[in-house]
Amino acid sequence: MTLLKEKIEKLPSLRTTVEAYGLIAKKALGQNFLLDRNITDKIIRLSLGAQKLSDFSGSDVFEVGSGPGGLTRAIFSAEPNHLTVVEMDERCIAIAQDIQSLAPDRMDIINGDALKVDFSTIGHTPRHIISNLPYNVSVPLLFGWLKSMGCFQSLTLMFQKEVADRILAPIKTKDYGRVSILSQLQCSVEKLMDVSPDCFVPAPKVWSSVLLFRPLEKLLTEDQIVKIEKLTQIVFAQRRKMIRQSLKGFATLESAAQKANILLTMRPEEITPQQFLLLAENLL
């Protein structure tokens, strides 16, 4: 057992910690806590295994929303070079500080809104983000990270299962949409596990899923991302309409669609991410 792991083992149990700090979950902050060590350890084990890593040594890891610290403990036990935790809820900062005190020079705590923190400029590559995401901001956070995917080696993220299904959705399914397209253009995405509601305190109404995102070799340029976002926003606002209708304001639609091998009678859910990229480049 490593030194850090040994120290973490000696911390009071998560339930004792939650009681000692009187931490009661707040719905407005998307708080559904993981107090079962089997689950938090499994998330890290599966993420490392899928990446063929034995630990996070040499890496900078970022966690959004440490809460009572279960996942933080599991991450820290995997020996990252450095861990940065961003937590909005002041009540959870003292709990994170207890973990930080085990190796102060290897952990930073930011008490703030993760939507306002640019992880791509903090620390060094390889960077990994790991989070049981607050469900109310999970998609905006993901969009932000996807846009700077070149700065990350992996994202290991827990979403509500319905959101995870949208991210993984193939074309011609009702779940396919903007988040599937940007995710699949930037990353290989795989599901690591589904998690039942009764693993959380309090139990949410729905299942959750943990996904692993890894950057593809060829990433989109900033300009391509802007165009993809604009195009998908327009067509998915009217997802039942043929693109002939939703894009009728564009004079070059016919030639752009031809170059992307798209028929004007297609609906957005029939168009692959790669075709969207070609269409966006030729149309906008």
Site for ligand SAM, rule CB under 6 A: 29-34, 64-68, 70-71, 86-89, 92, 113-115, 132, 134, 137
Closest CA to 148 of 181, 120, 178: 120
Tokens of 73: 């403990």
Nearer to ligand SAM, 74 or 231 (CB): 74
Nearer to ligand SAM, 32 or 246 (CB): 32
The per-residue b/e assignment along 192-220, b for 16 or more CB within 10 angstroms, e otherwise, is: beebeeebbbeebeeebbbbbbbbeeebb
Nearer to ligand SAM, 144 or 273 (CB): 144
CB of 39 to ligand SAM, least distance (A): 9
33-34 and 200-201 as β-strands: parallel, antiparallel, unpaired? antiparallel
Nearer to ligand SAM, 61 or 64 (CB): 64
CB of 139 to ligand SAM, least distance (A): 12
CB of 3 to ligand SAM, least distance (A): 24
DSSP string, 157-172: EEEEHHHHHHHHPPTT
Q: Which residues pair with 84 in a beta bridge?
A: 62, 108
Nearer to ligand SAM, 43 or 283 (CB): 43
CB of 253 to ligand SAM, least distance (A): 39
CB of 132 to ligand SAM, least distance (A): 3
Alpha-carbon distance of 149 to 132, in angstroms, equals 19
